């Protein structure tokens, strides 16, 4: 049987070091000792691993492949972004390699290392929560990276984002126009840029409407349905509960709907909701659920365009903000 080609992970296992250490060794980074570097390179030779597969700066030509790391492949938002990115790469005769971090920073690191090993020309990342300084250790200093949904606080990284604060502000103004005065917000985590910006938009709209913000009506629901359900129960089971909620994603919205059912409350009658992101089942509710829709396919396309310009040297990393749209369906009638 033909033996398989040794991988970065094989070298890391044999050397009993991290994948990041192997990457630093083969790319000549100074953060590791010479002794460690020599040991890693000796194991590379022993296993038949070819370090030049990792050394992007030494490639003779582009692979015409882009790596894309999403943080939740089951989330409709990311699926639509991937669709836009795939369409854009295909239009240019390029290919897309997809990886899923599951909102876990360590999985994201492993995905980045694996995609780089496969000789992608650049990376598009929907960053998980946490510190992304590891990118400067795993990747060459000039390697093209564009984030979307959330920014990466590293110099040289581009970003395609949306108007989170303005969208949340518009959503809360809509709820106020519906007569609500007791409004809460359920977001994923204040460790996430998107959540912080959406809470800021919530607060500014409440201040504009001269309404009091009750901190106990602002909760962190995480990125999963069940954690959002538990957070929603904490808000909605209070004797003095809000009559309306801004939710930061369709997963959080789904968690709220489960909480409403558990508490015997009726959506639209006892509690109204405006959700950030498109909710696939929104129009099946009565009244249809209002949404702050993000231009998902355009996000994917813009990220690819920016990355390709960085790869071929015709463009530099920048931060692009795309507008959002409040879709109210027939809820205002």
pLDDT over 80 at 332, yes or no = no
pLDDT over 90 at 119, yes or no = no
* Domain shared by 114 and 196, yes or no: no
Q: Mean per-residue pLDDT for 16-38?
A: 79
33 vs 193: which has the higher pLDDT: 193
* 333 lies in some domain: no
* Domain shared by 49 and 170, yes or no: no
Highest mean pLDDT out of 57-61, 72-76, 162-166? 162-166
Q: What is the CATH number of the domain that holds 195?
A: 3.40.50.2300
Return the pLDDT at 46. Answer: 83
Q: Mean per-residue pLDDT for 153-173?
A: 96
pLDDT over 60 at 82, yes or no = yes
The whole-angstrom separation of Cα 193 and Cα 63 is 33
pLDDT over 50 at 331, yes or no = no
Q: What is the CATH number of the domain that holds 22?
A: 1.10.260.40
Helix 225-236 to helix 250-263 angle (10° resolution) is 50
Q: Domain limits at 110?
A: 62-162+296-323
Q: Confidence class of residue 29 from pLDDT cuts 50, 70 and 90? A: low
Q: In this structure, are residues 72 and 43 in contact, taking their beta carbons and an 8 Å threshold?
A: no
* Domain shared by 268 and 286, yes or no: yes
* Domain shared by 136 and 172, yes or no: no
Which pTM value belongs to this model? 0.80
pLDDT over 60 at 59, yes or no = no
Return the pLDDT at 30. Answer: 62
Total structural domains within the chain: 3
Average pLDDT, the chain: 89
* Domain shared by 278 and 217, yes or no: yes
* Domain shared by 212 and 197, yes or no: yes
Helix 164-177 to helix 193-208 angle (10° resolution) is 40
Cα angle 46, 50, 52 (rounded to 5 degrees) comes to 145
Range in 7-11, 141-145, 193-197, 270-274 with the lowest mean pLDDT: 7-11
**CB within 8 A of 132, min separation 6: which ones?**
152, 153, 154
Give the SS3 label for residue 65: strand
Percent of the chain scored above 70 by pLDDT? 92
* Domain shared by 192 and 225, yes or no: yes
């Amino acid at each position: 049987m033909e033996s398989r080609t040794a991988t970065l992970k094989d070298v890391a296992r044999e050397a009993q070091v991290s994948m990041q250490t192997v990457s630093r060794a083969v790319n000549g980074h100074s953060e590791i000792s010479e002794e460690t570097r020599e040991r890693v390179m000796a194991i590379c030779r022993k296993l038949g691993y070819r370090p030049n597969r990792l050394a992007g700066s030494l490639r003779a030509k582009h692979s015409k492949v882009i790596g894309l790391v999403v943080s939740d492949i089951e989330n409709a938002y990311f699926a639509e972004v991937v669709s836009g990115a795939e369409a854009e790469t295909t239009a240019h005769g390029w290919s897309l390699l997809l990886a899923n971090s599951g909102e876990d920073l360590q999985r994201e690191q492993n995905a980045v290392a694996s995609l780089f090993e496969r000789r992608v020309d650049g990376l598009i990342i929907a960053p998980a929560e946490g510190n992304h300084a590891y990118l400067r250790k795993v990747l060459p200093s000039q390697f093209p990276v564009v984030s979307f949904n959330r920014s990466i606080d590293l110099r040289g990284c581009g970003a395609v984002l949306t108007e989170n604060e303005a969208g949340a502000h518009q959503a809360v103004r809509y709820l106020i126009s519906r007569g609500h005065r007791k409004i809460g917000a359920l977001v994923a985590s204040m460790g996430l840029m998107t959540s912080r910006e959406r809470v800021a938009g919530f607060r500014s709209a409440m201040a504009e409407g001269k309404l009091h913000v009750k901190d106990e009506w602002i909760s962190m629901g995480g990125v999963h349905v069940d954690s959002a359900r538990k957070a929603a129960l904490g808000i909605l089971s209070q004797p003095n509960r809000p009559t309306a909620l801004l939710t930061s994603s369709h997963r959080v919205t789904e968690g709220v709907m489960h909480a409403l059912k558990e508490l015997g409350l009726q959506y639209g009658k006892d509690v109204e909701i405006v959700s950030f992101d498109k909710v696939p089942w929104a129009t099946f509710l009565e009244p249809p659920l209002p949404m702050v829709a993000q231009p998902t396919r355009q996000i994917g396309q813009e990220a690819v365009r920016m990355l390709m310009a960085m790869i071929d040297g015709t463009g530099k990393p920048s931060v692009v903000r795309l507008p959002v749209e409040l879709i109210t369906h027939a809820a205002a009638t």
